[in-house]
Structure 1
């Protein structure tokens, strides 16, 4: 059998048909994801010499500058702090909502509640950010309302154009992303396990802590990753509501590429941010797998 006959035979098999079906999508992902990512990594080791000119000699000067400059370290730490705080607030507030929809709502009404949770997606992300500017502004809805009822004597100035505004806006924007995976995890819990726990004398609180929460851990981990990964790279929200004290590492990356004309340093900051996010994401994935493995072990027992 010739090589050509083997190729034709392969593409007539089930494996060959599967390869042909997957190939366009794989090629599309390779061109739009892998190639730009590799290009960013390669450029991070270059030096900018002109508007469009690069010195392609390998150098670690960009990484040395990014790791030693206090400004970049401060922005990276602020980004991690903001993303961690947003993730914590979002997941903590999302869990009770997901729990209520899963356990407190009749099955025929759950789809309606999920529909209501996704309503914020109907409007543009930019519109939602600008609405928060209206709410948190010096003469905004929040200050005006508190002044009207006499809670404050003068408008609060610390809730806009700083880190507080960034956290509030991002927590609201990503709330549905946290609710949905937790809801899915709660829906998969076998209700008979909860009944067995109660029959064995456990209180509702202990049943939640020892049965419900561990079984919902994979959904919680998924929610953490879904919220944490995009928020650390968000640059629109810090630019619009963060002010000088609320800018994050993504804003510096944008500045390096578009304003300071230093693409290698911008690429270096992007690579470092991706590495940090990857390490944290892997750690949470390992925690999720450990929780899932422990749950399966408990079920087998």
Structure 2
């Protein structure tokens, strides 16, 4: 007698996740593989030579401009990450520990308000704030602190760091807040009952338990900022260009897409190596604390 085949729970789970998995694979893995493959080709104006070659990577290694742009991009991303996380942690800590539970949703709602406006609009607003005749310079001149407008806050790396730190602040606040919310408050009370003051309780109990959120915030901020194109283009000026701007120049202005693809691969490998090293270092640190 024929019996209908039974589907195990594991097989049913694979059937449920396979459509989104292959959809994500097609949208992410296939373009990445295409970029990697393209980086081993060459292009002469509109003609693409599909012969396998390492000339693009050799050119990146030999020309100092590409190394300088990559180092500047890593420096900017590191500075943005440090500034953003240091400013985001007190906000997340205050909302988690000092805001009443029924008002936390309102605070999180207010934190996400910047997402309501276009990213381009926020960048242009920072140009108005940091400009030669902007809000900061005009205010400092009016109160007599400076006689001439400050020139180091716009069209350079400083302007890029300030703008990116503001743009990615909510991305850092939310994961840190989630990690702080998961901390059992009785552990803090136990630490204080054992003689620890609030400062030592924070460093010995709260901060270690919040490290998963801090690590998530670091990765969420660091990884996309190194590939940001709009902010350096509008705020960086000639001295604030990053590797993403050079990639755009190779693809669109110089008609050298294989070299642009090679630059993208080098940037991705660099970011992946640094992120993986940071995650492994954090795991080792947490293991040593346990």
TM-score in terms of structure 2 length:
0.95
CA distance in 2, matches of 1:50, 1:293: 54
How big is the alpha-carbon RMSD for the aligned residues of Structure 1 and Structure 2? 1.7
Q: 2:248 aligns with which of 231, 254, 258?
A: 254
- The Cα of 1:144 is off from its aligned counterpart by 1.0
2:27 matched to 1:32? yes
Alignment of 1:119-268 (within 5 A): 119-268=113-262
- Structure 2 contact 172–217 (Cα < 8 Å) conserved: yes
Question: 2:263 — aligned with what?
Answer: 269
- Structure 2 residue matching 1:54: 3-state secondary structure: strand
The size of the alignment, in residue pairs, is: 289
The offset of 1:13, in angstroms, is 3.9
Aligned runs of 1:258-297 on 2, under 5 Å? 258-293=252-287, 297=290
CA separation in 1, counterparts of 2:217 and 2:249? 30
Q: Does the Cα contact within 8 Å between 1:162 and 1:241 map onto a contact in 2? A: yes
Would you say the 8 A contact 1:48–1:54 is kept in 2? yes
SS at match of 1:176: helix
Q: Which runs of 5+ in 1 are unaligned?
A: none
Q: 2:53 aligns with which of 38, 53, 59?
A: 59
Q: Secondary structure at the match of 1:216?
A: helix
TM-superposed CA distance for 1:288, in Å, is 3.6
Match of 1:113 in 2: 107
How far apart, CA to CA, are the structure 1 residues paired with 2:58 and 2:222?
26
Structure 2 match to 1:49: 44
CA distance in 2, matches of 1:114, 1:122: 13
1:260: how far off? 0.5
Is the partner of 2:58 in helix, strand or coil? Answer: helix
Question: Which residue matches 1:71?
Answer: 65
Distance 1:17 1:212 in 2: 41
Secondary structure at the aligned position of 1:57 is classed as coil
CA distance in 2, matches of 1:44, 1:80: 21
1:266 CA drift (Å): 0.4
The match for 2:15 is 20
What is the rounded CA distance, in whole Å, between the counterparts of 1:203 and 1:236 in structure 2? 46
Deviation string 1:82-133 (CA, Å, 9 cap, x unpaired) is: 0000000000111111111111111111111111111111111110000000
Distance (Å, rounded) in 2 between the aligned partners of 1:37 and 1:220: 28
Range 16-25 or range 78-87, more displaced: 16-25
Shift of 1:292: 4.8
CA contact (8 A) 1:214 1:291 kept: no
Match 2:85 to one of 80, 91, 97? 91
1:57 shift after superposition = 1.5
- Asked if the contact 1:218/1:292 (under 8 Å) is kept, the reply is no
Shift of 1:49: 2.7
8 A contact 1:45–1:59 mirrored in 2: yes
Are the aligned partners of 1:229 and 1:277 in contact in 2 as well (CA < 8 Å)?
Answer: yes
